Amino acid sequence: MARKESPLFLARAPYRRRRLRDASRLLPILGIFFLLLPLLWTEESRLSLSAGDVIYFFSVWIFLIGAAAAFAPGLRSGQGPTGDED
């Protein structure tokens, strides 16, 4: 399909913004890894309800929210029709 011409190299600020978007796209994968991790190390592949588990999952959760909040400003700015994908 036809693509709008876009510059080959970017200035520093847009470059950072794009890498932030990349990072935000990787976040769910990191999240899945951390949320499935306990299944690997727990005995008999069984999760139980111990205080440690509860604290672990909420820590992962808070970390994901914090990371998303850090990336969010990068998502907002530069939302032109071309400000997508790469």
Partner 1 sequence: MPFKLLVVACLLYVAFLFAVAFIVERRAQAGRLGWLRSPLVYTLSLSIYSTAWTFYGAVGYAARSGLEFLTIYFGPTLVFVGWWWLLRKLVRIGRQYRVTSIADLISSRFGKSNTLGVIVTIIAVVATTPYIALQLQSVVLSFGVFASATPDGQAPLDAGQTAIWVAVGLAFFTILFGTRNLDAREQHHGIVTAIAVEAVVKLVALLAVGIFVVWGIAGGVGDVIARIDAADLSAWQVQPGRWAGLIFLSAAAVITLPRMFQVMVVENDDEGQLARASWAFPLYLMLMSLFIVPIAVVGLDQLPAGSNPDMFVLTLPLAEGQGGLAMLAFLGGFSSATSMVIVEAIALATMISNHVVIPLWLRLRPAAAADDLRSVVLMARRVAIAAVLALGYGYYQVSGGSAALAAIGLIAFLGVAQVLPALLGGLFWRGATRTGAILGLVTGFVVWAFTSFLPSFGPGAALSDAVFTQGLFGLAWLRPQALFGTDTMDPMIHALFWSMTLNVIAFCLGSLLTFPGPVERLQGAAFVNVFEGTVGPERWSKGQVDPEALLTMAQRILGEEAALSLFQTAARDQGKDSFLPDPTPAFLNQLEAQLSGTVGAATAHAMISQLVGRATVTVEDLMAVASESAQIMEYSAKLEAREAELTRTAGALREANEKLMQLSIQKDAFLSQISHELRTPMTSIRAFSEILTEGDLPPEMVVKYGRIIHEEAKRLTRLLDDLLDLSVLENGTVQLSLGLASLQQMLDTALIAARQTRPERSFIIHRDLPSEAIYLKTDADRLTQVFINLISNARKYCDASQPELRIAVRQRAGRVTVDFIDNGKGIPKDSQSLVFEKFARLTDANRAGGAGLGLAICREIMTNLGGSVAYLPGQGGAAFRVTVPLRLEKLAA
Binding residues for partner 1 (CB under 8 A): 1-5, 21, 24-29, 31-32, 35-36, 39, 45-51, 53-54, 57-58, 61-62, 64-69, 71-73, 75-76, 79, 81-82, 84-85
Q: How far apart are CA 38 and CA 35, in angstroms?
A: 7
Least Cβ distance, residue 45 to partner 1 (angstroms): 5
Least Cβ distance, residue 15 to partner 1 (angstroms): 18
Buried b / exposed e over 38-76, threshold 16 CB at 10 Å, is beeeeeeeeeeeeeeeeeeeeebeeebeebeeebeebee
Least Cβ distance, residue 59 to partner 1 (angstroms): 11
Per this entry, what is the length of the chain? 86
11 or 36: CB nearest partner 1: 36
